[in-house]
Structures are given as C-alpha cells and as structure tokens.
C-alpha cells in the first residue's frame, strides 16, 4: 500500500478553483519534489493535505496509509504523522519554543499510546536532536518563531520535524528566504531525516534546493494539474528552460 495516494483532487479557495485534478502516489521512503511557477497551486496542495480551513475540496480523494485523509481534523492528521514545514512559520509571542514543542510532541505521543515526556526529558531530547542534525538549539528558550531570522525559522521547522518523527513531511518552499549557507544547514537536517519509512513532498519554485536534497521523483505543477513527471534530471531541465512551455499548456 502506498503511503499517500492523491486521486483526481480538485480544490478551491473562496470562488477560485486552484487544483484541477491532481494525481500523485507516494510510496514509503520516497522523496517527491513538486515544482511549478507562482500561482500554480503548490502551496494550496500543501494546505489541502494538512487540512487548513478555507481550502475546500470539491472533488477527488486522498488516501493516507489507506485511510481517507480529508475526513481527519488537522491535529489528527498531524498526530497520524503528516507534518507541514511552513513557508512562513508563525510567531506566537510569549510561548517558549520548548513549551510549544513539548505540547506538540506529547499530543503526538499520547495519540501513539506512548508516555508523555516531562520538561526535563523533553529538553534533553530536543538538545540531542538539534546536535545530531547540527542545527543548534539556541532557539529553544525563545518565544517560538518570534523575532527569528529566516534561517532560524527554517531550522526550527526542521527541529520540529525531527522531534515529531512524521511519516509524511511536506516542505513548503523551505528554501525561500535562505542564503546558501542557511540552505545547506537546513538541507543537511532534512537529509539526516531521510529514512525508509519516511516520505517527503518537497514543494519548491527553484531547483537550487534539489541540489542538496536529491528527490526520487520530480513533478511539474501548472494550472492546478501535474503536467509532467520524471526523475531528478527533470529539475535540471526546468532550471534551464524555465516554466514557459507549461504556462502555455495550462492556459
């Protein structure tokens, strides 16, 4: 059974149809990249999969581990192992990163039938994960995302992913706003989290990120549909030719 099966998915935001029949199958352990021009529906896809309000599914289905994903509340999807690394991680003033992450991890652990961690255990674990990913734990004491630089925000997202150990990680434009050094750190963290039972869906506008996180499959999303799929070499091809040909096709 595939980890994720998206079948003929249609979705709209308010009155605007954005996804017009997405088909995509992701097997356990695979890394898929979705590339496409601005406005093609990349972020919409990530929000529909994670269950954000305001994104209305008008047709098709999504099976996650064989179960209807779209019926689940967003927090249930998260606890079942769907993780979204946000393009713009949200600031929550006054809430320490440790407090936030401990609440998240314990919600997930409880769901899995595992014992909840106390503050000491949690901090120890968080530090160990940060060290192993080489991403630093300096942000743990600060209010989550509040006043973080672009790089810090993305590192914090990767640390969260490492702690929550998702089955399916969706990385929405993780490369946006990062300089090359920050990008390498973040990509290194993501690569360290690759495993046979973890799949990733990497959404990006540029090929650059895929130099560091090598995907198994690359798809081109344009006009709300996947218009072309291929191996990792497709990303290079896009880099060279741009999205011009697909823009025409989509219209």
Partner 1 sequence: MTATNETAAQISTLADEKYKYGFVTDIETDQAPKGLNEDIIRLISTKKKDPPWLLEKRLKAYKHWLTMAEPEWAMVTFPPIDYQDSYYFSAPKTTDQPKSLDEVDPELLRTYEKLGIPLQEQEILAGVAVDAVFDSVSVATTYKGKLEELGIIFCSFSEALQKCPELIREHMGSVVPYADNKHACLNAAVFTDGSFVYIPPGVRCPMELSTYFRINAAETGQFERTLIIADKGSYVSYLEGCTAPMRDEHQLHAAVVELIALEDAEIKYSTVQNWYPGDAEGKGGIYNFVTKRGACRGDRSKISWTQVETGSAITWKYPSCILQGDDSVGEFYSVAITNNMQQADTGTKMIHIGRNTSSRIISKGISAGRANNTYRGLVRILPTAEGARNYTQCDSLLIGDRCGAHTVPYIESRNPTARVEHEATTSKISDDQLFYCRQRGISDEEAVSLVVNGFCREVLQHLPMEFAVEAQKLVGISLEGSVG
Tell me the site size for partner 1, rule CB under 8 A: 31
Tell the smallest beta-carbon distance from residue 235 to partner 1 (Å): 27
The yes or no reply on residue 240 touching partner 1 (CB under 8 A) is: no
The yes or no reply on residue 57 touching partner 1 (CB under 8 A) is: no
| Residue 149: strand, helix, or coil | coil
Nearest-angstrom CA–CA distance, 229 and 33 = 10
The yes or no reply on residue 17 touching partner 1 (CB under 8 A) is: no
Nearest alpha carbon to residue 50 among 18, 74, 21, 67: 74
The yes or no reply on residue 99 touching partner 1 (CB under 8 A) is: yes
Nearest-angstrom CA–CA distance, 78 and 75 = 5
The yes or no reply on residue 90 touching partner 1 (CB under 8 A) is: yes
**What are the start-end ranges of the H helices in 51-167?**
74-79, 97-111, 119-133, 150-164
List 13, 28, 70, 107, residue binding partner 1 (CB under 8 A): 107
List 14, 38, 73, 181, residue binding partner 1 (CB under 8 A): 73
| Residue 138: strand, helix, or coil | coil
Chain residues 109-138 in contact with partner 1, contact rule CB under 8 A: 111
List 143, 192, 193, 247, residue binding partner 1 (CB under 8 A): 143
Tell me how many degrees the CA angle 183-74-83 measures, rounded to the nearest 5.
25
Tell the smallest beta-carbon distance from residue 73 to partner 1 (Å): 7
Nearest-angstrom CA–CA distance, 146 and 25 = 36
Q: Which string of b and e fits 233-250 if b means at least 16 CB within 10 Å?
A: ebbeebeeeebeebbeeb
The yes or no reply on residue 45 touching partner 1 (CB under 8 A) is: no
Tell the smallest beta-carbon distance from residue 171 to partner 1 (Å): 13
Two tokens, residue 94: 């006054």
Of 30-38, 74-82, 130-138, 182-190, the segment contacting partner 1 by CB under 8 A is 74-82
Nearest-angstrom CA–CA distance, 190 and 192 = 5
Q: What is the DSSP letter of 53?
A: T
Chain residues 150-209 in contact with partner 1, contact rule CB under 8 A: 160, 164
List 42, 79, 129, 228, residue binding partner 1 (CB under 8 A): 79
List 58, 68, 71, 103, residue binding partner 1 (CB under 8 A): 103
Tell the smallest beta-carbon distance from residue 65 to partner 1 (Å): 16
Question: 156 forms bridges with which residues in the sheet?
Answer: none
Give the helix/strand (H/E) hosting 181. Answer: helix 180-192
The yes or no reply on residue 89 touching partner 1 (CB under 8 A) is: yes
> Interface with partner 1 by CB under 8 A: which residues?
50-54, 73-75, 77-79, 83-84, 86, 89-90, 92-95, 99-101, 103-104, 107-108, 111, 143, 160, 164
């Amino acid at each position: 059974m595939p980890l994720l099966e998206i079948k003929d998915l249609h979705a709209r935001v308010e009155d605007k149809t954005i996804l017009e029949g997405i088909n995509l199958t992701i097997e356990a352990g695979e890394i898929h990249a979705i590339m496409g021009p601005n406005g093609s529906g990349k972020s919409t896809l990530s929000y529909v999969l994670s269950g954000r309000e305001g994104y209305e599914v008008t047709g098709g289905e999504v099976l996650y581990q064989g179960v209807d994903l779209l019926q689940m509340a967003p927090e249930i999807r998260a606890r079942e192992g769907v993780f979204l690394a946000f393009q713009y991680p949200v600031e929550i003033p006054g809430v320490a990163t440790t407090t936030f992450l401990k609440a998240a991890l314990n919600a997930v652990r409880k769901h899995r039938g595992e014992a909840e961690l106390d503050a000491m255990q949690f901090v120890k674990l968080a530090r160990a994960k940060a060290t192993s990913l080489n991403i630093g734990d300096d942000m743990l004491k600060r209010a989550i995302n509040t006043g973080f630089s672009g790089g810090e925000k993305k590192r914090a997202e990767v640390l969260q992913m490492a702690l929550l150990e998702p089955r399916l990680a969706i990385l929405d434009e993780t490369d946006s706003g990062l300089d090359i050094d920050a990008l390498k750190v973040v990509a290194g963290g993501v690569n360290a989290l690759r495993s046979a039972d973890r799949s990733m869906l990497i959404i990006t506008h540029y090929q650059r990120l895929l130099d560091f996180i090598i995907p198994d499959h690359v798809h081109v999303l344009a006009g709300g549909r996947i218009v072309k799929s291929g191996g990792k070499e497709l990303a290079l091809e896009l880099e060279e030719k741009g999205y011009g040909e697909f823009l025409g096709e989509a219209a």
